[in-house]
Structure 1
Amino acid sequence: MSSFVVAAYGYDLIYGTDKMLESSIDSARLEAHSASLQVSSTLIVLSDTSQLIASNLNSGNLSEDQVEELLYRSINSNPNIFGVGVAYEKGAFENYEVDPQSLPLYAPTYSRKYGEPQLFQASYDYTLENGEEENVPNTEWYHRALTDGGGWNEPYFGSRSNRYIFEYSTPFESTYAMQQGISPAGVVYASYSLEGLRDIIGSLELGKTGYGFIVSQDGDVISHPIEDYVTRNISDISKTDSVLGQITSDISPGTVSTVYDSNSGNKLWVFYEEIPQTDMVLGVVLKDDEVLHYMNEELYHEKIYLSLGIIGLLTSLSIIIFTRNGTTKASMWKIVIIFSILCFIEIGVVWNLTMTNNVSENMDDIILYDESGLESSLEKVYLNDVNTKEATSDSMLKVPTGMFIQSIEFASGNDVVITGYVWQKHVEGIADDYVPGIIFPESESTSITNAYEKDGVTGWYFETTLREQFDYITYPFDMETVWIRLWSDGFDDNVVLVPDLDSYYSITPESTPGIEKDFVLEGWDITKSYFSYKVNEYDTDFGINGYKENANPELYFNVEMKRDIVTPFITYMSPLLLIALLLFIALFTEVKSDTDSSEILKYGASLMLVLMVAHVSLRESLTASGIIYLEYFYIIMYFMVLAISFNAIIYASDRKIPVIEYEDNVFAKLMYWPVMLFLILMVTLATFF
Structure 2
Amino acid sequence: MRRKSSRLNARTVALIVTTVGAAALTAYTVHDLREFKESRQARSLEVGQRAGIRVAEALDETLSEVSERATEYSKVVARIDSEPELLESIKKESFRFPLVMGVTVAFEPGAFAGKERYSPFFNKARDEFQFIEQAYDYTSRELETAKWYTAVVESGKARWSEPYFAKAAETMVVDYGVPVVDDEGRTIGIVDYAISLSDFTRIVDALSVGEAGYGFTYDETGAILSHPNPIYLLQNVFQLRDGKNEAIVNSLREDAEGVVAYNSTYTYKHSWFFFRELKSTGWKSVLVFAEDDLLGASDEGRRKIIQIGIGIGLLLIALLALLALVQGVDGFNRKELWRLATLTSLVLLGNIVLIWYLNVTTDFSRFDHDVERIVNDTILDNYVEQSDAELYKLVNARYSKVPTGIFIESYELSSFEASIIGKLWMKYPKDLYETAPPGFYLPDVSALETRGLVQTKLADVEYDDYVLVTWRFRVTLEEDFSYRQYPFEQNDVALRILYPDFSKNVLLVPDLQSYDILNPSVRPGLNPDVSVPSSETIASFFTLSNAEFKTTFGNRRLVKSYPMLTFHMVFKRNYLNPFVANIIPILIVVMMMFVVLYISSRKQDGRAGLTTMNVIQSSAGFLFILILAHVNERARIETPEIAYIELFYFSMYLYITVQTLALAAMFRGVDWKLFEWEDNLILKLSFWPLLLAIWFAFTLARFY
For 1:132, the equivalent position in structure 2 comes to 119
Distance 1:307 1:19, change over 3 A: same
Q: Is the alpha carbon distance of 1:399 and 1:343 closer, same or farther for their aligned partners in structure 2, counting shifts above 3 Å?
A: closer
Q: What does the per-residue CA deviation read over 1:23-60, in whole Å, with 9 as the maximum and x for residues that have no partner?
A: 53443122222444466678878999999xx9xxxxxx
Are 2:506 and 1:493 equivalent residues in the alignment?
A: yes
**1:421 corresponds to:** 422
State whether residues 206 and 378 of structure 2, in contact with CA within 8 Å, keep that contact through their aligned partners in structure 1: yes
Q: Deviations over 1:111-166 (max 9, x none)?
A: 9x99xxxxxxxxx997979952475489999xx99x978899999xxxxxxxxxx9
Displacement of 1:320 after TM fit? Answer: 1.5
* Structure 1 residues 622 and 388: CA distance shift in structure 2, 3 A: same
**2:527 is equivalent to residue 514 of structure 1:** yes
1:202–1:212: 8 Å Cα contact kept in structure 2? no
Residue in structure 2 matching 1:533, options 542, 549, 554: 542
Contact 1:209/1:367 (CA < 8 Å) preserved in 2?
no
Distance in 1 between residues matched to 2:663 and 2:657, nearest whole Å: 10
Cα distance in 2 between the residues matched to 1:154 and 1:394: 41
Q: Is the 8 A contact 1:3 1:313 kept in 2?
A: yes
Contact 1:209 1:374 (C-alpha < 8 Å) held by counterparts: no
CA distance in 2 between counterparts of 1:285 and 1:359 reads: 21
- 1: CA distance between counterparts of 2:47 and 2:671? 68
TM-score by length of structure 1 reads 0.66
Judging changes above 3 Å, is the alpha-carbon distance between structure 1 residues 167 and 668 closer, same or farther for their aligned structure 2 residues? Answer: same
| 3-state SS in 1 of match to 2:286 | strand
Q: What is the CA deviation profile of residues 405-447 of structure 1, one whole-angstrom value per residue up to 9, with x for unaligned ones?
A: 1x5141xx212333x2314266797987685544333211424
- Alignment-derived partner of residue 562 in structure 1: 573
Q: Output the CA distance in 1 between the equivalents of 2:528 and 2:186.
A: 68
TM-aligned CA distance change 1:286 to 1:545, over 3 Å = farther
1:666 paired with 2:681, answer yes
The AA in structure 1 aligned to 2:673 is: P
Preserved contact between residue 3 and residue 309 of structure 1 (Cα < 8 Å):
yes
Is 1:312 aligned with 2:325? no
Deviates more, 1:576-585 or 1:677-686: 576-585
Q: Offset at 1:687?
A: 2.1
Matches within 5 A, 1:522-601: 524-528=534-538, 531-539=540-548, 554-556=565-567, 558=569, 560-571=571-582, 573-575=584-586, 577-579=588-590, 581-582=592-593, 585-586=596-597, 588-589=599-600, 591=602
The question of whether the paired residues in 1 share the 8 Å contact of 2:29 and 2:308 is answered with yes
Bigger drift between 436-445 and 493-502 goes to: 493-502
Offset of residue 463 of structure 1: 3.1
Distance 1:267 1:459, change over 3 A: farther
Please tell me the residue identity of whatever aligns with 1:256. Answer: V
Residue 440 of structure 1 aligns to a residue whose secondary structure is: coil
**For residues 93-112 of structure 1, what are the structure 2 equivalents within 5 Å?**
none
Could you tell me whether the CA contact under 8 Å between 2:348 and 2:696 is conserved in 1? yes
Q: State how 1:268-417 maps to structure 2 within 5 Å.
A: 269-275=272-278, 279=282, 281-287=284-290, 294=297, 297-324=299-326, 325=328, 326-355=331-360, 357-359=361-363, 361=365, 364=368, 373-382=375-384, 387=389, 396-405=401-410, 407-410=411-414, 413-417=415-419
Tell me what 1:453 maps to: 459
Aligned-residue offset at 1:649: 4.8
Partners of 2:690 and 2:577 lie apart in 1 by: 26
Amino acid at match of 2:343: I
Aligned to 2:145: none
What's the secondary structure of 1:443's corresponding residue?
coil
For the Cα contact (< 8 Å) 1:416–1:465, is it kept in 2?
A: yes
SS in structure 2 opposite 1:318?
Answer: helix
CA distance in 1, matches of 2:638, 2:332: 50
Which residue of structure 2 lines up, in the alignment, with residue 235 of structure 1?
Answer: 234
Contact 2:75/2:180 (<8 A) preserved: no
Work out the CA distance in 1 between the residues paired with 2:61 and 2:84: 39
Unaligned runs of 5+ in 2: 1-20, 97-102, 109-116, 122-127, 133-147, 164-173, 463-467
Name the CA distance, whole Å, in 2 between partners of 1:274 and 1:503. 27
The separation in 1 between residues aligned to 2:544 and 2:66, in whole angstroms, is 37
Q: What whole-Å deviation, never above 9, does each CA across 1:46-77 have from its counterpart, x for those lacking one?
A: 999999xx9xxxxxxxxxxxxxxxxxxxxxxx
In structure 2, distance between residues paired with 1:381 and 1:624: 35
Confirm or deny that 1:28 pairs with 2:48.
yes
Q: Quote the residue 1:68 is aligned against.
A: none
Q: What is the distance in 2 between the residues matched to 1:153 and 1:242? A: 26
Q: Deviations over 1:302-340 (max 9, x none)?
A: 443333233222211211122122223343233212212
Does structure 1 conserve the Cα–Cα contact (< 8 Å) formed by 2:277 and 2:285? yes
Q: Report the Cα distance in structure 2 between the residues aligned to 1:217 and 1:547, rounded to whole angstroms.
A: 57
Match of 1:619 among 634, 637, 658: 634
Q: Is the 8 A contact 1:442 1:466 kept in 2?
A: yes
After superposition, the C-alpha distances for 1:212-267 in whole angstroms (9 at most, x for unaligned) are 356677999998779x99xxx952899xx999x999995653142647446x6556
Long gaps (5+) in structure 1: 55-84, 93-99, 115-123, 156-165
CA RMSD of aligned residues (A): 6.1
Show the 5 A alignment for 1:178-257: 202=206, 206-213=209-216, 234-235=233-234, 250=252, 253-256=257-260
Letter in 1 for 2:23: S
- The CA distance in 1 between the partners of 2:158 and 2:511, in whole Å, is 42
**Aligned counterpart for 1:443 among listed residues 428, 434, 445:** 445
- 1:404 deviates by 1.3
1:648 to 663, 673, 677: 663
Name the count of aligned residue pairs: 607
Q: 1:329 to 1:154 in 2, by over 3 A?
A: closer
Give the secondary structure class of the aligned counterpart of 1:29.
Answer: helix
Provide the rounded CA distance (Å) in 1 between the counterparts of 2:284 and 2:431: 32
- Paired with 2:317 and 2:527, the residues of 1 have a C-alpha distance of 50
1:69-108 map, 5 Å = 88=76
Cα shift at 1:585: 1.2
Aligned CA distance change for structure 1 residues 169 and 591 (closer, same or farther; 3 Å):
same
- 8 Å CA contact retained: 2:391, 2:398: yes
CA 538–345 in structure 1, closer or farther in 2 if over 3 Å, else same: closer
Hey, what's the Cα distance between the residues in 2 that align with 1:321 and 1:546? Answer: 78
In 2, distance between residues paired with 1:502 and 1:237?
23
Contact 1:346 1:681 survives alignment (8 Å): yes
Deviations 1:331-370 (A, max 9, x none): 3233212212322233233333433x153535646667xx
Q: What's the offset of the Cα at 1:676?
A: 0.9
User: For residues 65-109 of structure 1, what are the alpha-carbon distances to aligned partners after superposition, in whole Å with 9 as ceiling and x for unaligned?
Assistant: xxxxxxxxxxxxxxxxxxxx99846879xxxxxxx9799589899
Report the residue type matching 2:352 in the other structure. Answer: I
Contact 1:415 1:467 survives alignment (8 Å): yes
Flag the 1:29–1:153 CA change in 2: closer, same or farther, 3 A.
Answer: same
Q: Distance in 1 between matches of 2:39 and 2:581?
A: 43
